[in-house]
Amino acid sequence: MSSIREVARLAGVSVATVSRTLKTPDVVSPATRDKVLSAVEQAGYRPNLMAVQFRSQRTRNLVVLVPKIANTFYARVISGIQLAAQSRGYGVLLCNTQGDEAVEAQYAHLVSTRQADGVIQLRAYNPFRDDRVGAASLPMVNACEVLDATPYPTIKLDNRAAAREMTEHLVALGHRRIAMIKGPRRSPLTRDRFDGYRDALEAVGIAFDDTLLCPGDFTPQSGYAGARALVERAKPPTAIFCESDEMAIGALQWLKRAGYRVPEEISIAGFDDIEFASYCDPSLTTIAQPAEAFGEAAIEMLVALIEGRKLEPLHRVLPHRLVIRESTAPPPISLT
Amino acid sequence: MSSIREVARLAGVSVATVSRTLKTPDVVSPATRDKVLSAVEQAGYRPNLMAVQFRSQRTRNLVVLVPKIANTFYARVISGIQLAAQSRGYGVLLCNTQGDEAVEAQYAHLVSTRQADGVIQLRAYNPFRDDRVGAASLPMVNACEVLDATPYPTIKLDNRAAAREMTEHLVALGHRRIAMIKGPRRSPLTRDRFDGYRDALEAVGIAFDDTLLCPGDFTPQSGYAGARALVERAKPPTAIFCESDEMAIGALQWLKRAGYRVPEEISIAGFDDIEFASYCDPSLTTIAQPAEAFGEAAIEMLVALIEGRKLEPLHRVLPHRLVIRESTAPPPISLT
DNA sequence: GTGAAAGCGCTAACAA
DNA sequence: TTGTTAGCGCTTTCAC
């Protein structure tokens, strides 16, 4: 591992000239440039970026805090992030946090310890909460699931409007007993989607029935258990709106195991439009989110923050789209 | 962002004492230690790890090259990696490469530029191939999909034996026309699994029929297209063995769309045992791999390499397990 | 256009 | 036990 000094010796120039040749080639004479470049080649020189970053106090690395890296929705967001970061000359450090706040704080420290220039947080939690440095003094952007009141820039979906649309779709099909399998209690996503569901019911005068509510945690397992619980109610639903596709797929699985026909006997709706949503049977009616655009927007805003440019607007809302597939249909005639 | 100097000033000691208090607290007097620690607290001091790493020439960061982060199999490997790395005091930098060799080389450079201490490569490719530094001089471990002849340590499954077992399972059910949807042509995984499939057929004297072979790329889309192509053959198969669960799920989807009953009319088998394998309908017969153990073993070997300990053995093989679920059954009687 | 030299924040050898 | 000091590899003035 040869150093810049070795290259300088080989080329018969000073280390400053080597550095200049590499950083600002147009400022050295062509003859020197050639000498230096062939010395670089000969020595197999690779600059020690630890030293470069240390010296320039910039790493050009960005940290991304991902709750669940295996989730195909997040995978698409990440893909958007990587593309956008790369085109701006930044590297991406992916951190799989499983929503563990200690892990998030630890990785966020990559920024406070200057191993990275900024953070993209995909969950509604401030990983710098216990840090001594003042809020919002460290470059961070909060996307997808965002904090309610935060000094950090945010990018989100209008979850309330999206859930309202999905519920309206079910109502339009003729459903009156529409259940909801919710996400984690503390998630703003859950609250907003639930609010949208209620909005839609209220708008058409369907009385809210809390026996049609079921807790979940966005996993297929919780959808599986939730479907069973809902169907065993005294007055079971004719449609189940799950706050995530993974839960919807779990619910679908239980219903089919239990001998129910979907959507003839009961409709299922999801949220996210993950890849398997179109590969399950029946394919899933869901809400599509512009996942890659989340990533692109997050990077754009974070880089602006890091490079000291003004951010306008500070909070962005991205568009959603209702995707109607096979899992939703009118309720059985006997039940309308 | 206060520096060690600021803390030293506040505590009325030298910077060396501050450094000692933080690194080797037992070597400073309790009184000084208290003074320093409260100064650290007061200043909100966080050591500049860029400087620490630069100075000590060690980052305690490890790079993991992941072909597809959204794949739940890799997600489990990563989970094993993270746990094992954390317990040894190393951080993990996840890199989603999509199998792009340029991207892999770029991230591998985090090591040759000393931003990380070692690499775990989950694909059969040497990201240092074009590097000037000699092969195997940089700490790297190759796991899951491994290079054939390589100076780097490897950890893999006995893919050939696993595929043979799966094929034997299908043969035992009575199948004679067993198709295979293969993975990417260049992957050693594909070659080994195909060899195992042939081994099993040969062992029971079933003539090999290359019209029962179909190319794929591990995605659901290629499984979907592959199932259609195979069923439209002059002599269609009674069972399809897919080299990945994602392809099996795609195949399942096409068959159901086309009105085939699985497994009554045609059996489907996968490979990997991803999460959705037990959530699709019918649930998928597949080969389970000890994903977390791959991660654990990779870290153990990489850390040994970095810390200059001897590695024994250099190449490890982890155990697989045939998981029989609902998607495989005897062929229709008319066809036996 | 090029070189000499300072210094980024920290650790570790050596001295006191 | 603590302080002084050199120096990790590089970039960037400031002279020349």
Average pLDDT of the residues in B133-142: 76
Query: Per residue in A162-212, pLDDT tens?
Result: 999 999 999 999 999 999 999 999 899 999 999 999 999 999 999 999 999
| Shortest CA to C1' contact from A20: nucleotide | D11
Q: What amino acid occupies position B218? A: F
Which residues neighbour B221 within 8 Å (Cβ) at sequence distance 6 or greater? B250
pLDDT band at A93 (very low <50, low <70, confident <90, very high): confident
Distance in angstroms: CA B66, C1' D10: 32
| Shortest CA to C1' contact from B17: nucleotide | D2
pLDDT at residue B133, as a whole number: 57
Query: Are B46 and A82 a contacting pair at CB < 8 A?
Result: no
pLDDT band at B113 (very low <50, low <70, confident <90, very high): confident
d(CA B247, CA B193): 14
B118 close to B62: Cβ distance less than 8 angstroms: yes
Query: Per residue in A300-325, pLDDT tens?
Result: 999 999 888 888 899 999 999 999 99
d(CA A325, CA A181): 19
Query: Per residue in B143-166, pLDDT tens?
Result: 999 999 899 999 999 999 999 999
B250 in contact with A at a CB cutoff of 8 Å?
yes
Average pLDDT of the residues in A76-85: 91
Average pLDDT of the residues in A92-101: 88
Kindly tell me if the per-residue pLDDT of B32 is higher than 60.
Answer: yes
Average pLDDT of the residues in A145-169: 96
d(CA A102, CA B177): 53
DSSP state of B332: P
CA B272 distance to own-chain centroid? 11
Kindly tell me if the per-residue pLDDT of A132 is higher than 70.
Answer: no
Distance in angstroms: CA A23, C1' D13: 16
For nucleotide D9, the protein residue with its alpha carbon nearest to C1' is A51
B253 close to B318: Cβ distance less than 8 angstroms: no
pLDDT band at B61 (very low <50, low <70, confident <90, very high): confident
Average pLDDT of the residues in A148-159: 94
d(CA B226, CA A230): 38
d(CA A122, CA A302): 13
| Shortest CA to C1' contact from A14: nucleotide | C3
Query: Per residue in A8-67, pLDDT tens?
Result: 999 999 999 999 999 889 999 999 999 999 999 999 898 888 898 888 888 888 999 999
B302: closest CA of chain A, how far (Å): 19
Question: Which nucleotides of strand C are protein-proximal, with an atom < 7 A from a CB?
Answer: 1-5, 7-13
Beta-carbon count within 10 A of B102 CB: 10
pLDDT at residue A335, as a whole number: 52
**The two three-digit tokens of residue B64, written as one number:** 């993991």
- Average pLDDT of the residues of chain A: 92
- Average pLDDT of the residues of chain B: 92
pLDDT at residue B107, as a whole number: 86
The percentage of chain A sitting over the pLDDT mark of 70, rounded to a whole number, equals: 97
Q: Strand, coil or helix: what is A77? A: helix
d(CA B133, CA B115): 16
pLDDT at residue B134, as a whole number: 55
Range in A149-158, A193-202, B123-132, B171-180 with the lowest mean pLDDT: B123-132
pLDDT at residue A109, as a whole number: 85
Closest CA relative to residue B164, chosen from B128, B190, B189, B196: B196
Query: Per residue in B210-222, pLDDT tens?
Result: 999 999 999 999 9
pLDDT at residue B60, as a whole number: 87
Average pLDDT of the residues in B119-141: 82
B222 in contact with A at a CB cutoff of 8 Å?
no
Query: B121 has which bridge partners?
Result: B65, B142
pLDDT band at B335 (very low <50, low <70, confident <90, very high): low
Query: Per residue in B232-263, pLDDT tens?
Result: 999 999 999 999 999 999 999 999 999 999 99
Average pLDDT of the residues in A276-305: 94
pLDDT at residue B50, as a whole number: 86
d(CA A267, CA A324): 12
Question: Checking phi first, is residue B308 left (phi over 0); if not, alpha (psi -120 to 50) or beta?
Answer: left
Kindly tell me if the per-residue pLDDT of B75 is higher than 90.
Answer: no
Which residues neighbour B202 within 8 Å (Cβ) at sequence distance 6 or greater? B208
